């Protein structure tokens, strides 16, 4: 089994489904109030070069519930912020802690950290991928639909790190994925090509209705991610027809479900009506970041 959690395609379908099985077990134990200290005495370093709400809270609380301890490390108050090479950070941290979760910009930096560390590295988000989030998304769908592997999923919006993670998920699990993005905002062509070589069934379109028609799962993200704030006005114009709203839902399957990784800009990429409506499982999805990441940490560090 892989020692790091950097990208979904590094793992097999069976390995990821084992993580889902452990997630169910740990979530059930928590709901029953049963202790599950699988990482008693273990420590996780959490390195943040990008701001966060859900990632920090879910990992920190998760380590506490597993009987361990989490350390918050910001680049602004560590030597990484003053130019210490990431390979030096990895070597030193390997002698202090039992695992590292890093939320940063460059996927290459995360991969270098993994190469230079003797402890598990977890990708908490990069500009390329967000594997923990898509695992929480799929686990949430599995709670609501037993046939989750056989459903049609669609992504509406930017071809960003979340779109890339969904592409990887389609390659590993084999479900159909449709992606609707404006012209010029498609996902990375190499990531799509690699997924298709693995057997992924991916349809690209510039028409949201084409992606949503008959789909079981609709998913989106903000139009301008962290670091793209200067493009907000330009992106708002490009994405104005790429909103998940009731009109788009009417094209989807009658029992369709809606996901959003949060934070959401309500009434931009998704309407307030849909977020609060009967199709939304967005807050179940947010909760499951905690449970899935506990299973990931326990798998890697236990």
Report the CATH number that the domain containing residue 12 is assigned in CATH: 3.40.50.1370
Q: Is residue 1 part of a domain?
A: no
Q: Is residue 45 part of a domain?
A: yes
Peptide bond just before 96 cis, omega within 30 deg: no
pTM: 0.96
Q: Is residue 56 part of a domain?
A: yes
Residue 225 annotated in ligand binding: yes
Distance CA(159)–CA(181), nearest Å, equals 6
Give percent above pLDDT 90 in the chain: 91
280 and 294, same domain (yes or no): no
pLDDT in tens, 237-284: 999 999 999 999 999 999 999 999 999 999 999 999 999 999 999 999
143 and 112, same domain (yes or no): no
275 and 139, same domain (yes or no): yes
- Cβ burial of 125 (10 Å; 0-12, 13-18, 19+) is buried
Q: How confident is the model at residue 230 (pLDDT cuts 50, 70, 90)?
A: confident
**Look-up: residue for tokens 């046939």?**
147
Distance CA(154)–CA(202), nearest Å, equals 10
104 and 139, same domain (yes or no): no
Residue 53 annotated in ligand binding: yes
Distance CA(17)–CA(28), nearest Å, equals 17
Q: Does pLDDT of 77 surpass 80? A: no
Q: Does pLDDT of 151 surpass 80? A: yes
Distance CA(129)–CA(150), nearest Å, equals 23
Residue 266 annotated in ligand binding: no
**Which residues does residue 102 pair with via DSSP β-bridges, in sequence order?**
47, 123
Residue 221 annotated in ligand binding: yes
Supply the pLDDT for residue 1.
Answer: 62
Q: How confident is the model at residue 229 (pLDDT cuts 50, 70, 90)?
A: confident
Q: Is residue 58 part of a domain?
A: yes
213 and 223, same domain (yes or no): yes
Spatial contact of 56 and 29, defined as CB atoms under 8 Å apart:
no
Supply the pLDDT for residue 170.
Answer: 98
292 and 212, same domain (yes or no): no
Q: How confident is the model at residue 81 (pLDDT cuts 50, 70, 90)?
A: confident
Q: Is residue 2 part of a domain?
A: no
281 and 158, same domain (yes or no): yes
Residue 203 annotated in ligand binding: no
246 and 214, same domain (yes or no): yes
What is the Cα 29 distance to its own chain's centre? 24
Quote the DSSP letter at residue 247. H
Residue among 5, 24, 287 nearest 142 (CA): 24
3-state helix, strand, coil in the chain (%, to 5): 45, 15, 35
Q: Is residue 3 part of a domain?
A: no
In order, the DSSP letters of 114-177 are: HHH-SS-EEEEE-SS--HHHHHHHHHHHHHH-TTGGGSEEEEES--SHHHHHHHHHHHHH--EE
Q: Does pLDDT of 213 surpass 90? A: yes
Q: Does pLDDT of 225 surpass 80? A: no
Range of the domain at 100: 8-130+288-301
Number of structural domains the chain divides into: 2
CB atoms within 10 A of CB 208: 27
Residue 232 annotated in ligand binding: no
**Look-up: residue for tokens 């599950």?**
36
Q: How confident is the model at residue 226 (pLDDT cuts 50, 70, 90)?
A: low
Q: How confident is the model at residue 99 (pLDDT cuts 50, 70, 90)?
A: very high
Instruction: Enumerate the active-site residues.
Output: 103, 130, 133, 221, 261, 289
Residue among 137, 162, 76 nearest 283 (CA): 137
Residue 103 annotated in ligand binding: yes
pLDDT in tens, 31-63: 999 999 999 999 999 999 998 999 999 999 999
- Please give the sequence-ordered ranges of beta strands (E in DSSP) within 49-120, or none if there are none: 69-74, 99-103
280 and 152, same domain (yes or no): yes
Q: How confident is the model at residue 83 (pLDDT cuts 50, 70, 90)?
A: confident
């Amino acid at each position: 089994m892989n020692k790091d959690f950097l990208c979904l395609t590094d793992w097999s379908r069976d390995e990821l489904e084992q993580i889902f099985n452990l997630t169910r077990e740990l979530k059930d134990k928590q709901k029953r109030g049963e202790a599950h200290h699988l990482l008693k005495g273990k420590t996780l370093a959490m390195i943040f070069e990008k701001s966060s709400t859900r990632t920090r809270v879910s990992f920190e609380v998760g380590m506490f519930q597993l009987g361990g301890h989490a350390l918050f490390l910001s680049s602004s108050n560590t030597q990484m912020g003053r130019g210490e090479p990431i390979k030096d950070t990895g070597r030193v941290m390997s002698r202090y802690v039992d695992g590292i979760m890093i939320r940063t910009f460059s996927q290459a930096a995360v991969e270098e950290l993994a190469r230079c560390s003797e402890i598990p590295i977890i990708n908490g988000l990069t500009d390329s991928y967000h594997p923990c989030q898509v695992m929480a998304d799929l686990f949430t769908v599995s709670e609501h639909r037993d046939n989750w592997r056989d459903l049609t999923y669609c992504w509406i919006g930017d071809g960003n790190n979340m779109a890339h993670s969904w592409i990887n998920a389609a390659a590993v699990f084999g479900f159909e994925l449709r992606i609707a993005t404006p012209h010029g905002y498609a996902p990375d062509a190499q990531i799509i090509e690699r997924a298709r070589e693995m057997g992924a069934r991916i349809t690209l379109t510039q028409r949201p209705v084409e992606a949503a028609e008959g789909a079981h799962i609709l998913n989106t993200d903000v139009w301008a991610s962290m670091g793209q704030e200067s493009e907000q006005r330009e992106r708002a114009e490009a994405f104005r027809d790429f909103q998940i709203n009731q009109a788009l839902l009417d094209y989807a399957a009658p029992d369709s479900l809606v996901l959003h990784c949060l934070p959401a800009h309500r009434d931009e990429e998704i309407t307030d009506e849909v977020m609060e409506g009967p199709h939304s499982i967005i807050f179940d999805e947010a909760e499951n970041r905690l449970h899935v990441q506990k299973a990931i940490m326990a798998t890697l560090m236990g």
